[in-house]
């Protein structure tokens, strides 16, 4: 199976613009600001230059901003993100102009740079994971390609039962990693639907004994729909010989099942003929019976 490999990334996507504030929404200021009756402290809403990321929002609304403001001697001020706005509570235009605005700008620049670093690291981790996953899948496909799934057999009216392909999508997701189990279930598609007698023989004790005698006592076979499920095995074990044992056994199973089916059909035909003859005799004998009283 051909695998596609991503070319190495020569350049990362451009980092987003550093988060900042563009202007204050004067329409949201209290109407009494800068009057004799106006509040000393109030909430000022400023517009972001772009929509903040989830990481930046967490930093602004959380402990990072609180620590930054406390360290800059603004313990009474609090920040909250509201869509594309930053709500600066318990402050004033004068306080912002005298140093708070610069402190907030520094905070946003710090959080923006920190978020960009984390995003870059996450992108690198994702690329490493994708490359590792491609190598893992390539190794699994190479191993599957070495597993013999069919054995030669004379052709007859009923196509030989065999195994077509391994259902790679049903293999354990951890396969090929350090956390993978050494034994698992491998599902393999049949070349055709097995007959009821073949199913009985495949899942019976005879084939189980053959596998055990060949050195595979832990393998167990079950059938689901048109798939053979080989439990307690591995791709390595199938390549090493278990696949040959199963494929070779299928030749004998198909032949014996076909013979038994022919014999069963012939026996059923004989029984049907006997029943037909019996019914014909009964009908004829019953017709010959006359319920007529003898004459004196």
Q: Which two tokens stand for residue 149?
A: 């799934």
Give the residue with greater pLDDT, 154 vs 216: 216
Whole-number Cα distances in Å, 257 to 59, 152, 157, 198, 206? 71, 17, 13, 6, 13
Q: What is the mean pLDDT of residues 240-252?
A: 92
- What count of other Cβ atoms lies within 10 Å of the Cβ of residue 74? 19
Q: What percent of the chain has pLDDT over 70?
A: 90
**pTM to 2 decimal places:** 0.52
**Confidence (pLDDT) at 22:** 95
Measured between alpha carbons, how far is 286 from 194 in angstroms, rounded to an integer? 46
Q: Above 80 in pLDDT, residue 217?
A: yes
Domain segments of the chain as ranges: 21-132, 163-278
pLDDT of res. 15: 59
The 10s digit of each residue's pLDDT in 186-213 is 999 999 999 999 999 999 999 999 999 9
Q: Is the pLDDT of residue 157 over 80?
A: no
Query: Fold for domain 163-278?
Result: Gyrase A; domain 2 (3.30.1360)
What is the structure's pLDDT at 160?
82
Residue-wise pLDDT for 13-56, tens only, equals: 555 689 999 999 999 999 999 898 899 999 999 999 999 999 99
- Residue 72 above 80 pLDDT? yes
Q: Distance of CA 109 to CAs 24, 72, 247, 282, Å? A: 18, 15, 66, 104
Which helix (H) or strand (E) covers residue 104, if one does?
helix 101-145
**Interval 252-281: pLDDT, tens:** 898 887 777 667 677 778 888 888 888 988
Average pLDDT, the chain: 87
Distance, in Å, from the CA atom of 138 to the CA atom of 20, rounded to the nearest integer, reads 46
Q: Please check whether residue 125 is in contact with residue 115, taking contact to mean a CB–CB distance below 8 angstroms.
A: no
- To the nearest 10°, the Cα dihedral for 83, 88, 94, 98? -100
Residues 6 or more apart whose CB falls under 8 angstroms from that of 38 comprise 30, 32
């Amino acid at each position: 199976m051909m695998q596609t490999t991503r070319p190495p990334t020569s350049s990362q996507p451009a980092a987003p613009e550093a988060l900042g504030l563009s202007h204050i929404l004067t329409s949201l200021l209290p109407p009494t600001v800068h009057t004799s009756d106006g509040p000393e402290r109030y909430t000022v809403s400023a517009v972001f230059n772009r929509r903040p990321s989830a990481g930046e929002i967490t930093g602004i609304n959380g402990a990072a901003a609180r620590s930054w403001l406390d360290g800059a001697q603004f313990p009474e001020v609090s920040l909250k993100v509201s869509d594309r706005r930053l709500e600066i509570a318990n402050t004033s235009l004068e306080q912002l102009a005298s140093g708070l605005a610069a402190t907030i700008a520094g905070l946003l620049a710090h959080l923006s740079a920190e978020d960009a670093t984390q995003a870059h690291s996450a992108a690198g981790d994702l690329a490493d994971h994708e490359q590792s996953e491609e190598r893992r899948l390539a190794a699994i496909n190479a191993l599957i390609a070495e597993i013999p799934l069919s054995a030669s057999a004379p052709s007859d009216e009923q196509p030989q039962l065999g195994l077509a392909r391994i259902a790679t999508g049903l293999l354990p997701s951890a396969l090929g990693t350090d956390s993978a189990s050494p034994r698992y279930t491998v599902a393999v598609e049949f070349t055709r639907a097995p007959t009821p007698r073949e199913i009985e023989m495949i899942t019976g004790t005879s084939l189980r004994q053959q596998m055990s005698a060949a050195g595979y006592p832990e393998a167990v076979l079950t059938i689901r729909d048109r798939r053979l499920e080989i439990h307690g095995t591995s791709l390595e074990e199938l390549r090493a010989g278990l696949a040959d044992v199963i494929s070779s056994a299928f030749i004998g199973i198909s032949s014996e099942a076909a013979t038994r089916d022919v014999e069963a059909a012939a026996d059923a035909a004989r029984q049907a003929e006997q029943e037909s003859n019996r019914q014909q005799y009964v009908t004829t004998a019953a017709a010959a019976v006359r319920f007529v009283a003898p004459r004196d």
